[in-house]
Structure formats: C-alpha cells, structure tokens
A and B are shown apart, each in its own frame.
Chain A
Amino acid sequence: MKILQLDNVSKTYNAGSQPLHVLKKVNLEIEKGDFIAIMGPSGSGKSTLMHIAGCLDVPTSGKVIFENKDVSKLSEAELAQIRNKKIGFVFQTFNLIPRTTTLDNVQLPLIYAGVEAEKRRTRARETLEQLGLKERAFHFPNQLSGGEQQRTAIARALINKPSIILADEPTGNLDSKTGKEIIDIFKKLNKEGNTVVLVTHDEQIAKNARKIIRIYDGEIV
C-alpha cells in the first residue's frame, strides 16, 4: 500500500535576486513497511524533502499524495492535523519541552488530538514501557541521558500510531554506541510493521535501511 507519493515536486525559494531551486522535480514513493534512508550532503535538499514529505511545508509545484489524498494545497491548520495523526517526527536535537516531565512530553500529541486525560496517560505509559523508559516517566528532560531523551522523542513520535516515522539525523547528537541503540530501535519498529524514513549523511547509519535514496543538488540520483 502506498503511503506517500511525491509527484514532480519542486521547491523554489526567492532569496535575493536569484531564485533558489532546492528541489527539482522530485519523484518518490513510500510503501507501507518501508525502511528508507535519504542520504545527501548538506545543502542537497534532503531536509526540504523531509519537510515536504512530513507535511511541514508545501511544494512550489508538483503534488504530494498522502494516503490517497492530495495535501499539497492544504491550509496550515489542515496540515497540522495530518502531522498530528499520521506523522511521527524524530529530530537531531530531540526537542523535548524542558519544563515538563517525560510523561507529559510523550502525551503532548494526544492533547492536540483531543484525547481525554485518562486515555492519554495510559497510552503514554504503555509507549514509554515499550521503549524501556517506564522508570523515567516523571523525570524532566535535563535529568535524562542523550539516549533516553531521544527514546522519549521516539515515544512521542509513536504515541499517535503514525503511518510514517520521519527521523532527521536522529543520531547526530549522540555517541556512536548510543546512536546504534537508537538505530536498533528504528529497525525493531520497522520489523513490527512501521514505516520509517531516516534522513542522514552517515553511510554507516544509512546501511541499516532496506533502501537508500541519494539526493544531490535537489535531485534524486
């Protein structure tokens, strides 16, 4: 089953006098259960590709079909709802909210989805347990190790049972041993049926994926 399809997607920024073509007519298909690594040097357009695939941004031209629905012309609020229910993001810098506990960080997407408090907490606990963070539920982000923080972020990405998990350099801020643990989590999640897209510039990390897409100068090569 096709989850995401990019159809001749271009993204152009009007920075200064010359338009900057960040993506040039990119075509991409992601099937359910895929484990894809998107590779490319910095400035290649891989982040922009991920943003468009993750409904954080809309293309200048071309179509983005997410689960048979054209999302390239949707409003910001509509895109926010798709991100909330269908996409799980994992970032290089974890992006946990510092003043709130691990449990509260993990259940945040459910708050925006309007799930009631009791259900939210139960699901957040289950997801934390799945990632071995049961003991850390009431810790604050600054009391967690880098690996624990990233696992919290993965729990947050998983809690709404998304159709696709998008991870942008998820091991970039971690030592190699912890990085490997995180990659192992993604492999396990993929084995359990989740669709995972990993953006990285590290060959060793990319090798773990079942398919590698290389992007260079805004084009898939």
Chain B
Amino acid sequence: MEKLFETLKLAFITLKSNKMRSLLTMLGVIIGVTSVILLIAIGSGLKVYITAQFESIGANILYIMPGEFELGSGEEGGGIQGAGMAASKLTIEQGRDLVQRSTAIKAVMPYTENNATVSYKGKSQTTQAAGVTYEYTKIRDQYPESGSFFTLSQQEAGKKVVILGKTVAEKLFGENDPLGKKVTISENKFTVLGVLPSQGALAGVDTDNQIFIPVTTALTTFDMENIIGFWLQAKDQESIEQAKIEAEEIMLRTLDDDDFSVVDTESLLSVVGQVLGALTVALAGIAAISLIVGGIGIMNIMLVSIAERTKEIGLRKAIGATPKIILIQFLIESVVLSVGGGITGIIIGVLGAALINQFFPAVITFWSILLAFFVSVIIGVIFGVVPAGKAAKLNPIQALRYE
C-alpha cells in the first residue's frame, strides 16, 4: 500500500515534469472519449425525442402502409424493408370498408403527402401538403388556434379548402389574418379555413411547415389514384391487437399480403429505436478508433520515456526495486495518462452535450460515462503493459551503464 501510494505520487511528479508531452499524449484519448460521449448523447437524445414525438401523436394509433414492413426479426438482418417504397395500392374505398366491417376500429383516416408550393399575392412557400380527413383533429388531438378544420360534408364534396401550419401562415400572411383568403396550390385556388398552432421543430425539421387539405381534394389536385396510407384509431388500449387483426383481414379482401402492412406505434418505435441504436453504435465505434490511436500515442511516449530513464531504472533496481515494482511504476504512469485523458474527455463531452442540447436533442447517459472511464483505464493498461514490461526486464547492470 505504502509502495503503491509512492508510485502513484511518483507518476504524477514525472508527468508534471513533462507537462507539454503529457498533455499532447493525453490529447488522443481526450478527443476519442469526447467524441464517444457526444455521439452517444446525440443518439440517445434523438431516441428520447422521437419517442416523445410518437407519444404526442395520440393514443391507440395504428398505421396501414403500402408494401411490406418487416420488423427487426426479419431474416435479412432486420430493420425497415420496403415499407412505403412500393407503389401504393391503397384507396379511400378500402377505408370505408375498414370502418364498416371492424368492431375494434373507431376511426380511419386515409392520407396523402405531396410537396407543394403555396402562394398568396406574390409570396410563396414550398411546403408539404397533407391530404387528411375531418377526423384529423380528433386522432391527432390538434385543433386550429384560429378558424376551424374542414367538415365531413366539405370533404365529401371535394371542396378546395386548406388549413395552414403556423410557419406557412406566417410566411404568406405575416401579421395579417389569413382566414377566408384564397391561396394558390398547384394552380388551384383554395380558401383558408384555419391555422394550426405551433408544434415546434424535430431535429431541425420544421413540423409547422405543412398544410392540410381534404384527402379527396388532394387526389384530384395532385392527380393521384391511390393514397399513401391509413391512420387507424382503435377503440381503446386493449383493442389495439384486435384492431390490427381485423384491419389485416379486411385489407386482404382486396389486396395481397405483400401490398400493405398494419403497424402499431410500438413496433414503429422499436424499429426507430433499433435504427438509431445501430447508428449510435456505428458512430461511437468510429470514434473509438481515435481511442486506439490515442493508446498507441501513450505506448509510444512510454517507450521514449523508458529509454530516457534507462539509467534511473538501473539505479532503482540496484537499490532494491523488484521487477514487479518497476512494472507497476510504469503501468501506473500510462494509466494516469489515459485516465487523465479520459476524465478530461468526459468533462468536455458532458459540457459539449449540454451545449448541443440547446439546439439539438442530446442526453448524457450514465452508462456512456462509465463506459468511457473504463475504456480509458483499459487502454492505459493495454498500451502500457508492453513498455512497462520492457522496463521491468531491463538488466540492472546494463541499464546503469546506459548513457
């Protein structure tokens, strides 16, 4: 114990006497640990944020998407496969079928998505035009802050009416009241019925840059035959499974198995989680390469340091240091270097993540700090053991004669 404390003290004295060199050696580990911490923080932040977004969508929601949507357990390694990428065979009529034939489904909303330019008196805004039904407000639990949403009869008549997202309203009308005004979408005049409140931005994407028109109108305006998907709302939490089974049965009456998929929020979230998890691990893995480079830097400087201190090692051995003590002395030195770098990297990483969190979701996880700390200890040991072993094996007589 006494010896260990003295060796630790000695390591600090030695590293302090070569401040610049120690700092540069630590830099590799500092950069590696900082980037690992930051990347894991961003990955976790994104996951937390997306989960929250999904949870805000509303309860008991299911989706029907065109094509096959396979979850993580798929034979080809998992992830999303082909969902939404196949040409859609979904129609509004299938939606009517779903409402009539199922017992567990409370509401069905067919929807479309198109890029569109909205213009008003020379001002224009490129936005996303969502074709939805009057039930959108109920399903998403989102109501206009001014004006109103369109009604069932307006929807069935295919009226050219539009509800604007906050950003679109501000860009086109500024301080003026947009209600009742006519905007141009795809060479058609649409009457503004309402404006939705701000939803905020998701990972830099403005979710308020959207407009909503009746899905029937959307099909004719954008000259489409098929919709992009359905939102389904189950009666309650318990009937989600039943709703899913029924939806599949009903859809199979008109479509093949691989033409559509029924997905619930939970499985969608688990896929998003998997994708983000894999991405985080991959990025952190790349960052970890710089840790290995940092380790090589430590090994290099330890070999230099041992060569410089050959005579000192000889003297220490002559007055009674055993090979084990010499080994520990140099091992501690390299571990102090790498752990010093690790702790500095953790501090910079945590501060950096806090800063990033002002603009982008970043969450510091305790396990990433723990991981970074132990990885830096391990790097110190792994890259220190070869130089330290070399020092321990030095022949005292030859070491003493070394000039």
Chain A interface (Cβ < 8 Å from any Cβ of B): 51, 54, 56-57, 76-77, 80-81, 83-85, 89, 91, 95, 97, 99-100, 108-109, 111-117, 156, 160
B315 touches A95 (CB 8 A): yes
Most chain A CB atoms below 10 A, which of B2, B312, B319, B323:
B319
Rounded to whole angstroms, the CA-CA distance of A57 and B315 in the bound complex is 14
Digit string of B208-234 for contact with A (CB within 8 Å is 1, else 0)?
000000000000000000000000000
Residues 1-26 of B contacting A (Cβ, < 8 Å): 2-3, 6, 13-14, 17
Rounded to whole angstroms, the CA-CA distance of A97 and B17 in the bound complex is 13
Assuming the contacts A57-B397, A111-B2, asked whether A99 and B14 have C-beta atoms less than 8 A apart, the reply is: yes
Assuming the contacts A99-B17, A111-B2, asked whether A91 and B400 have C-beta atoms less than 8 A apart, the reply is: yes
Rounded to whole angstroms, the CA-CA distance of A85 and B321 in the bound complex is 11
Shortest distance from the beta carbon of B200 to any chain A beta carbon, whole Å: 58
B320: chain A residues within 8 A (beta carbon): 80-81, 83-85, 109, 112-113, 160
Can you list 23 A-B contacts (CB < 8 A)?
A: A76-B322, A76-B323, A77-B322, A77-B324, A80-B320, A83-B320, A84-B319, A89-B319, A91-B400, A95-B311, A95-B314, A99-B13, A99-B14, A99-B17, A108-B316, A109-B319, A111-B2, A111-B3, A111-B6, A112-B319, A112-B320, A113-B320, A115-B2
Assuming the contacts A56-B397, A80-B322, A100-B13, asked whether A116 and B316 have C-beta atoms less than 8 A apart, the reply is: no
Digit string of B299-333 for contact with A (CB within 8 Å is 1, else 0)?
00000000000011011111111111100000000
B396 sits at the interface (CB 8 A): yes
Rounded to whole angstroms, the CA-CA distance of A54 and B400 in the bound complex is 14
From B321, which residue of chain A is reached at the shortest CB distance? A112
Shortest distance from the beta carbon of B392 to any chain A beta carbon, whole Å: 9
From B324, which residue of chain A is reached at the shortest CB distance? A77
B314: chain A residues within 8 A (beta carbon): 95
From B320, which residue of chain A is reached at the shortest CB distance? A84
Shortest distance from the beta carbon of B158 to any chain A beta carbon, whole Å: 87
A160: chain B residues within 8 A (beta carbon): 320
A81: chain B residues within 8 A (beta carbon): 320, 322
Partner of B325, one of A112, A115, A117: A112
B13 touches A56 (CB 8 A): no
A77: chain B residues within 8 A (beta carbon): 322-324
B312 touches A97 (CB 8 A): yes
Most chain B CB atoms below 10 A, which of A51, A56, A113, A115:
A56
A112 touches B3 (CB 8 A): yes
A56: chain B residues within 8 A (beta carbon): 318, 396-397
B319 touches A51 (CB 8 A): no
Assuming the contacts A76-B322, A77-B324, A109-B320, asked whether A114 and B397 have C-beta atoms less than 8 A apart, the reply is: no
Shortest distance from the beta carbon of A107 to any chain B beta carbon, whole Å: 10
Partner of A51, one of B321, B323, B324, B397: B397
B315 touches A117 (CB 8 A): no
Rounded to whole angstroms, the CA-CA distance of A100 and B322 in the bound complex is 20
B322: chain A residues within 8 A (beta carbon): 76-77, 80-81, 112
Rounded to whole angstroms, the CA-CA distance of A19 and B177 in the bound complex is 105
From A166, which residue of chain B is reached at the shortest CB distance? B318
Shortest distance from the beta carbon of B342 to any chain A beta carbon, whole Å: 25
Shortest distance from the beta carbon of A55 to any chain B beta carbon, whole Å: 9
Residues 385-403 of B contacting A (Cβ, < 8 Å): 396-397, 400
B323: chain A residues within 8 A (beta carbon): 76-77, 80
Rounded to whole angstroms, the CA-CA distance of A20 and B325 in the bound complex is 33
B17: chain A residues within 8 A (beta carbon): 99
From A99, which residue of chain B is reached at the shortest CB distance? B17
A109: chain B residues within 8 A (beta carbon): 319-320
A117: chain B residues within 8 A (beta carbon): 2
A57: chain B residues within 8 A (beta carbon): 397
Partner of B2, one of A54, A80, A116: A116
Partner of A108, one of B14, B311, B319, B400: B319
Rounded to whole angstroms, the CA-CA distance of A99 and B323 in the bound complex is 22
B311: chain A residues within 8 A (beta carbon): 95
From A50, which residue of chain B is reached at the shortest CB distance? B397
Knowing that A112-B3, A116-B2 touch, tell me 6 more A-B residue pairs with CB under 8 angstroms.
A77-B323, A84-B319, A84-B320, A89-B318, A111-B2, A115-B2
Rounded to whole angstroms, the CA-CA distance of A150 and B54 in the bound complex is 78
From A111, which residue of chain B is reached at the shortest CB distance? B6
B397: chain A residues within 8 A (beta carbon): 51, 56-57
Rounded to whole angstroms, the CA-CA distance of A73 and B29 in the bound complex is 44
From B311, which residue of chain A is reached at the shortest CB distance? A95
A97: chain B residues within 8 A (beta carbon): 312, 315
